Structure 1
Amino acid sequence: MNKPLLRHIKKLLIQYRWKYITGAFFLLLTDIFQLISPRLIGWGVDYLNKGSLTFKSLLLVFSSLLLLAILTAIFRFFWRIQILATARKLEAQIREKYFTHLQTLSLNFFNYKKTGELMALATNDLGAVREMFAFGVVMLLDTIFLGTLSIFFLLSISPKLTLYIAIPLPLITLTIAFFGKITHKRFKLVQDSFAKLTDKAEETIAGIRVVKAYVQEEAELKKFIEKAQDLLSKNIHLVKAWGFMFPTIELLANLSILLVFLLGGLEVIKGNISLGDFIAFNSYLGLLIWPMNALGWVVNNFQRGRASLERINEVLDEIPDIKDSPKSIKKETLEGYITFKNVYFKYPSSPKWILEDISIEIKPGKFLGITGPVGSGKTSLVSLIPRLFNIQKGEIFIDNIPIKDLSLHYLRKNIGFVPQDSFLFSDTIANNIRFGKPDLSDDEIYKLIKIVALEEDLKEFPNGIHTIVGERGVTLSGGQKQRVAIARALAINPPVLIFDDALSAVDAKTERQILENLLEIRKNKSLIVIAQRLSVIQDADEIIVLKEGKIIERGDHNKLMRLGGFYAELFEQQKIESELERREDERIL
């Protein structure tokens, strides 16, 4: 079943209906004033032909034509303001709706939708939608008004000649219907190709340092050119359809002019119509040619807008996998008592369990360490706490409330999450830290800087905490980005802190300093830390070791060392490596 095209913007169109109605009224007045002029010129020619045209009547015709020209210009200005400006407002609100909806979608959506494609929808496609509701609406109304009124005036002069004009009209209609379907299909292919090109450009620019490091500029250029050539090819296919449609419509429309010139001239010779009427008839025919030609533009414009709106609708139709229940609990402050009971989890696209039968209890003020081989499910486990993904079996509680019953806003507001990828915005260090708490003062930021051991690094920055870090924090080292991200999490003072390998790029000395500071300030906070480097979590109240989604070992550091299993072997290995590095450093010094 086909869904209504305007389903997501119907309310916006209703909101702006009076703007469009007023604009249509001004456009109608413009066309009426425009259509009176040929009749006045025809009368003037007839009086001139009879030799009865006086200076007074000439001045009257001139003044009337001037007044009509001024009124036409004034009302043309008004309809442009009402319709074109409204289309811009409509575009802005659709873009806002689109961006707002994107932020509600679950992480899984962004795993298969590329950034470049989503950007293309918000720019190129939305531009086509705007044109549909701007000049598309104008041309449609103008075609209806000007076409209908022109035919009315033509009939008033000569019904017989008007009948001859109608001969090519069915052919024009068939031409427009045929090429309209082709245009819609080809324009959608163009937009898809443009999205792929945008995505390639965004990906290459974002990864330019990797491209340069591996000397792959030529290879990336070749891939970009392939995408650009594909876009060019599809655009040429689209232009060919346009290029054939418009000349065909113009040819058929010009047949009407030839018929009128031949048959109308005979009518003048026979004395059936006057010379002035013949001139007026040709003027009206000229005005009618525009709507006949504009039909092609209308179809082209609406097919492009329709194709783009369909693509935008596909995103707006997406339903978030994770959303609040109708009776979600809005609890402002949580204590941070976390419980996993026999939790099973797998990603929607995976047939295999990522986590199996996980049971954990984390009391406020306790420190849980998590380690295990790569791909063992560590990140997936902590991602379940702020409900970035839904579990399939079992239950997760916070303060004895199932997290599925908690409002997402309040749940996530009580969790400070530092993911593996320490993403920073292209802004100052200060604004990145106060991202979750905009009213944070500079003094409070400096306190956080001290906790994450960023004081010495700050001296190297030209403007201290007000230094712009560049896109994705590109001007900072990996360790500096991680520490800014940790400060950002601490800024909201949440009862639950989750660090997903957030100290991996920090040296051992700085790591120890940060951990000591964290252990001092965490008080009643639940602290969960994932780490490959076991020195980060050896002071944890409990450590769990994951392997292939299952807990294979658990206990504090001493207990796990006595077990002599995976944890003990990895700890001894890292201890030897650390000792060798220390000796190497001493030798160099």
Structure 2
Amino acid sequence: MKPYSLQIFYVVILTLAGILLELLLPTLMASIVDIGIVNGDIPYIIKIGAWMILCALAAVGLTVGVSFFASKVAQGFGRDVRKTLFVHVENFSLQAFDKIGPASLITRSTNDVKQVQDVLNMILRMMTRAPLMLIGGIILAVSREPGLSVIFLGALPLLAILIFIISRKAIPLFVSLQKKTDKLNLLVRESLIGVRVVRAFNRVQAEKKRFNTANEDFRDTGIKVNKLMASLFPIMMIVMNFTSIAIVWLGAIRIDQGHMQVGNLMAFLQYAMMILMSLIMLSMGLIMIPRAQASVKRINEVLSMHQEIKDPDNPKVVKNGKGLVEFQNVSFRYEGAEKPVLQHISFRAEPGKTTAIIGSTGAGKSTLLKLIPRLYDVEDGNIRIDGIDVRDMTQKQIRDRIGYVPQKASLFSGTIAENLNYGKKDANEEEMKEALEIAQATDFVMKKDEGVHTFIEQAGANLSGGQKQRLSIARALIRKPNIYLFDDSFSALDYKTDAALRKALHAVTSDATIILVAQRVSTVVDADQIIVLNEGKIAGIGTHKELLANNAIYQEIVSSQHAEEAGA
């Protein structure tokens, strides 16, 4: 809020000025009745009436100013919090990201921030106005007619108790409502992302039932909250109306006894309404604040999560490094896991050579690759690039030297060119065409009317699995790094395209370090070094011929794949 201190100051000053003008109006009206009308003084009535009009117009102008600055502060605050959340989450390790989950992070960055933003706007416009009007109204009402002020001794405590009871009941419901919003978002996200699986397994009705259960649960909680809020205002109106009746009744008795003038009664009645309306405004704020508190707590849970992967205070710089990657007794486990995913991994991946990693599903192949760019940090041991521990380098320095192709091809909505620019910001069209040609993507890209400027739908929905994979490879190739990491990046390619791609790749990456994860033996057969992983441990290292001769696990993988091919 610090950047908006000046605007908040303007809100308070304008609110104060507007309230003073509004509090002046009943006094002016009382003067018109008690002096102008009683004495039949038309010029006096016109004069005071003109002042009333000017005060009312000025109060309207000041209220518009308050709304303008309050909206500016609230919208700016919302923008800043969303930006802070986004930047903070972008720096999370994958473990921290997985802990909260994408559905909840989306809700916290949008719905929760909106709740806080709306309440902030209301606080600036109403919660600053209500206390000032309440205090000013009480002072002027008591100073004008102390005898009638005893009515407030019954009305104000009654309203305060009512607000307290409803707020106490509302807070847990608002917290529950936000959690159920999370659950609803999660179900919608899962159903939309997995729509093909849902239909393929004929589970549409089951998903509808699952969604309806969560949706009705959300609805029921929302109804409970709205019932509480709906019950508040009728009760308040009853209290206000009975207060008005009491004031008029007692005031009429005092006028009849000659202790009070009609104008004074009218002014006192208006001050009473101002006091009670300010209490209603406060109650609205107190009802909305619990929901914002629940949202604030959820936002702070994200912001308070420490970045597990940090840059060192005094990072070391690699000068003229060629991309030598060394694993030295590396172990790693996911949070909450009973045993490590990787145990005592040691090997060297040298520049100009291809290191392939093969093994059964769940052996830890993809995890091993993710440790190199510090998407996760090792538990024991260390990973070195050109002799320097990756934890002694900045994340930017590490990742600028790596071309990473993930197991699941991730493309963003935009043109093919914009996706390739993720690899290199200033890449020109010639560089793009070269990368596409090596990745065996030229045939389908150039057949499109707009070539590299063809639009890709969200998550590459208008492309096949093989096309997405080849574009992901092209994106890594275009930056021409020292180290290439291919995480099962050829699985969606046919054997002919796979072979052509590896041949083209070998020609342009002869000086780089290539580490690739693969399931197919045909992909790793020409590698300079093959690492066989089994249950998170290295079961063998060597060339295809060496492992085929003396490694039982590798022999099983080769024979099983040959059997599958023969059967096919």
User: TM-score, normalised on structure 2?
Assistant: 0.96
Letter in 1 for 2:148: L
- Residues 249, 296 of structure 1: 8 Å contact kept: no
Match of 1:112 among 93, 99, 106: 99
- Counterpart mapping for 1:248-263 below 5 A: 248-263=235-250
Is the alpha carbon distance of 1:461 and 1:213 closer, same or farther for their aligned partners in structure 2, counting shifts above 3 Å?
Answer: farther
- Counterpart mapping for 1:515-554 below 5 A: 515-554=502-541
Match of 1:126 among 103, 113, 127: 113
Match of 2:348 among 350, 355, 361: 361
Secondary structure class of the residue paired with 1:308: helix
Match of 1:239 among 226, 242, 245: 226
Aligned to 1:59: 46
Q: 1:147-171 deviations in whole A, cap 9, x for unaligned?
A: 1111122123211112322322122
- Residues 370, 546 of structure 1: 8 Å contact kept: yes
Letter in 1 for 2:197: V
Aligned to 1:298: 285
Match of 2:259 among 272, 282, 297: 272
Aligned to 1:412: 399
Letter in 1 for 2:9: I
Aligned to 1:318: 305
1:21 aligns with 2:9: yes
Is the alpha carbon distance of 1:564 and 1:82 closer, same or farther for their aligned partners in structure 2, counting shifts above 3 Å?
Answer: closer
Secondary structure class of the residue paired with 1:26: helix
Aligned to 1:44: 32
Letter in 2 for 1:111: D
Query: Greater CA deviation, 97-106 or 207-216?
Result: 207-216
C-alpha distance in structure 1 between counterparts of 2:562 and 2:437, whole Å:
28
Match of 2:479 among 476, 482, 492: 492
Match of 1:507 among 484, 494, 505: 494
- Residues 415, 498 of structure 1: 8 Å contact kept: yes
Match of 1:574 among 558, 561, 564: 561
Cα drift, residue 321 of structure 1: 1.9
Match of 1:86 among 64, 73, 83: 73
Percent of aligned positions with the same letter in both sequences? 30
Query: Greater CA deviation, 568-577 or 296-305?
Result: 568-577
C-alpha distance in structure 1 between counterparts of 2:236 and 2:320, whole Å:
68
Gaps of 5+ in 2: none
C-alpha distance in structure 2 between counterparts of 1:330 and 1:75, whole Å:
58
C-alpha distance in structure 1 between counterparts of 2:117 and 2:230, whole Å:
23
- Residues 318, 388 of structure 2: 8 Å contact kept: no
- Counterpart mapping for 1:188-203 below 5 A: 188-203=175-190
1:283 aligns with 2:265: no
Aligned to 1:211: 198
Secondary structure class of the residue paired with 1:25: helix
Aligned to 1:584: none
Letter in 2 for 1:234: T
Cα drift, residue 232 of structure 1: 0.4
Secondary structure class of the residue paired with 2:128: helix
Aligned to 1:452: 439
C-alpha distance in structure 1 between counterparts of 2:304 and 2:285, whole Å:
27
C-alpha distance in structure 2 between counterparts of 1:259 and 1:566, whole Å:
93
Letter in 2 for 1:120: T
1:164 aligns with 2:151: yes
Letter in 1 for 2:245: L
- Residues 36, 45 of structure 2: 8 Å contact kept: no
Is the alpha carbon distance of 1:140 and 1:374 closer, same or farther for their aligned partners in structure 2, counting shifts above 3 Å?
Answer: same
Aligned to 1:390: 377
Match of 1:335 among 304, 313, 322: 322
- Residues 546, 553 of structure 1: 8 Å contact kept: yes
Match of 1:139 among 118, 121, 126: 126
Cα drift, residue 565 of structure 1: 2.4
Cα drift, residue 25 of structure 1: 0.6
Query: Greater CA deviation, 550-559 or 497-506?
Result: 550-559
Letter in 2 for 1:23: V
Letter in 2 for 1:119: I
Secondary structure class of the residue paired with 1:336: coil
Letter in 2 for 1:50: V
1:32 aligns with 2:3: no
Gaps of 5+ in 1: 1-12, 582-589
- Residues 356, 524 of structure 2: 8 Å contact kept: yes
Letter in 2 for 1:113: I
- Residues 355, 550 of structure 1: 8 Å contact kept: yes
- Counterpart mapping for 1:433-448 below 5 A: 433-448=420-435
Secondary structure class of the residue paired with 1:356: strand
Q: 1:16-49 deviations in whole A, cap 9, x for unaligned?
A: 1221111111011111111211111111112354
Secondary structure class of the residue paired with 1:77: helix
Letter in 1 for 2:213: E
C-alpha distance in structure 1 between counterparts of 2:403 and 2:63, whole Å:
57
Cα drift, residue 454 of structure 1: 1.1
Cα drift, residue 185 of structure 1: 1.3
C-alpha distance in structure 1 between counterparts of 2:238 and 2:131, whole Å:
21
Letter in 1 for 2:546: K
- Residues 540, 551 of structure 2: 8 Å contact kept: no
C-alpha distance in structure 2 between counterparts of 1:542 and 1:225, whole Å:
53
Is the alpha carbon distance of 1:94 and 1:331 closer, same or farther for their aligned partners in structure 2, counting shifts above 3 Å?
Answer: farther
Secondary structure class of the residue paired with 1:421: coil
Match of 2:61 among 74, 81, 88: 74
Is the alpha carbon distance of 1:250 and 1:330 closer, same or farther for their aligned partners in structure 2, counting shifts above 3 Å?
Answer: farther
Q: 1:465-512 deviations in whole A, cap 9, x for unaligned?
A: 222221111111111111100111112211110101100000111111
- Residues 253, 293 of structure 1: 8 Å contact kept: no
C-alpha distance in structure 1 between counterparts of 2:551 and 2:371, whole Å:
30
Letter in 1 for 2:296: L
Letter in 2 for 1:196: K
Secondary structure class of the residue paired with 2:154: coil
Over aligned residue pairs, what C-alpha RMSD do you find?
Answer: 1.7
C-alpha distance in structure 2 between counterparts of 1:518 and 1:182, whole Å:
65
Letter in 2 for 1:96: K
C-alpha distance in structure 1 between counterparts of 2:408 and 2:190, whole Å:
16
Aligned to 1:585: none
Match of 1:154 among 124, 141, 162: 141
Secondary structure class of the residue paired with 2:516: strand
- Residues 420, 502 of structure 1: 8 Å contact kept: yes
Letter in 2 for 1:406: M
